[in-house]
Each structure stands twice: as C-alpha cells, then as structure tokens.
A and B are shown apart, each in its own frame.
Chain A
C-alpha cells in the first residue's frame, strides 16, 4: 500500500530534550516536506527536500533540523524543544517538487507536546 508513515504518533516531552520524528514514504517520491498545524494558522511548512541531500527552509524553520540521506526517509529533529513547538506535525511527499498539479500525500500526523 502506498503510504507515508510517521513515528511516533503522539509524544509528550520536556523542554530541551532532543527528539526525532521519523517520516518514511514507499512511493519513490522525490519531494518531501514537513508541516506544523496550529489552530488559526493552518499548515505551515517547516522544511522541504527536493531530493536526496537537497533540503531547504520553509516558512517556519527555526528550532528544527532535517536530513535526507535516503530517498524514502526525511526525519525531523528538534535539538532543544520548547513549549512553542507544541503542535501537530505532518510529513508529506509528492512525486516531484518541480511539476505543477501533483498531489501531496500526508502521513497520519504526530501530536507533540513540549512541557
């Protein structure tokens, strides 16, 4: 089954404790992206990756890191989480970041709470 998976789905942590949210897709998509979703603000892009070893900042990259060592995986790293990073996080992938009219496929989301 074609899908995007994320782990963990739920996480409660404390300020400053490094964490990683994993994302994996099995569709051989070139483009992957991370979003956070907050009430009233909608989906905002954190980082994106056009392909292996090619990553760039989205609209709200502060406090986050990513890597793209393999095509299928795109982990999101919070080196020192803070309470303002409490949010619902979605990973997404699409065939290409270049072509128009190609659908984004989203993972099920990770609900993160930072105390």
Chain B
C-alpha cells in the first residue's frame, strides 16, 4: 500500500464547477500536510498547508481528518487556470527528521 494515495483522475470539469479531491495517508504519525500544485512539466509549488482545524484560501478549502487519515481539497468556481496536477503531501517524523512523502497526484482539467 502506498503511504499517500490519491485518485489519479483525470477529473474533467466545466468552468465554474466545484471539485473535490481526497487523499489518504497510511502513517498515523504524520504531522503536517500540504497540497502542492504542479503544472505540466514544471516544478511543484505549494498551494496550501492543511491544518487540523481546516483552512481556506479564496476558492480553495483544505480539510484534515486525522481519525480517518485523509485530507481533502475543495476548489469552488473552477477556472481554466486551475488545470494542473494536485499533489497531496504528508510529513512524518522518521529517524529524527521530517520525511516528506508525495502522492502521485490528481490531474484536473477545467473545460470551457
């Protein structure tokens, strides 16, 4: 079983739609969580951190459920520019440092 699992998609949604991605993690010791965005053939960039209380940044909302070991990302009012791959990331303490584990990514295509 992969440490961080995501539905690879692709998710094809019309402009203006709301779309949600889920991600599960297997290591219950994981401490911090992130969503990164990666455009085609480019480097990943931080979209948002995911805090226990849930957090929102404009059209984006991230949630963490520690009991069920999953995190989610909700995108409201999708824009064409949201088309990208979204990477779920979990940090867990391993041998004295924060080991970073990436999911394989969920591809989003927003259609006009």
Contact = CB atoms under 8 A, between A and B. Distances in A.
A40 B100 contact: no
A47 interface: no
A98 B98 contact: yes
A41 B104 contact: yes
Contact of B46 (A40, A97, A103): A103
A109 B98 contact: no
A42 B98 contact: no
Q: How large is the interface on A (under 10, 10 to 19, 20 to 34, 35 or more residues)?
A: 20 to 34
B1 interface: no
B25 interface: no
Q: Tell which of A43, A88, A103, A106 has the most Cβ of chain B within 10 Å.
A: A43
Nearest to A99: B98
Nearest to B99: A45
A40 B96 CA distance: 29
Nearest to A108: B43
Given A98-B97, A100-B31, A42 B43 contact: no
A37 to B, nearest CB: 9
A42 B31 contact: no
Interface in A58-100: 88, 90, 97-100
Contacts of A45: 99-100
Given A106-B44, A108-B43, A101 B104 contact: no
A50 interface: yes
Nearest to B46: A103
Interface of A: 31, 33, 35, 40-43, 45, 48, 50, 88, 90, 97-101, 103-104, 106-109, 111
Given A98-B96, A100-B91, 17 more contacts: A35-B102, A40-B8, A40-B104, A41-B104, A42-B102, A42-B103, A42-B105, A43-B87, A48-B97, A90-B43, A97-B97, A98-B97, A100-B93, A101-B49, A106-B44, A106-B45, A109-B41
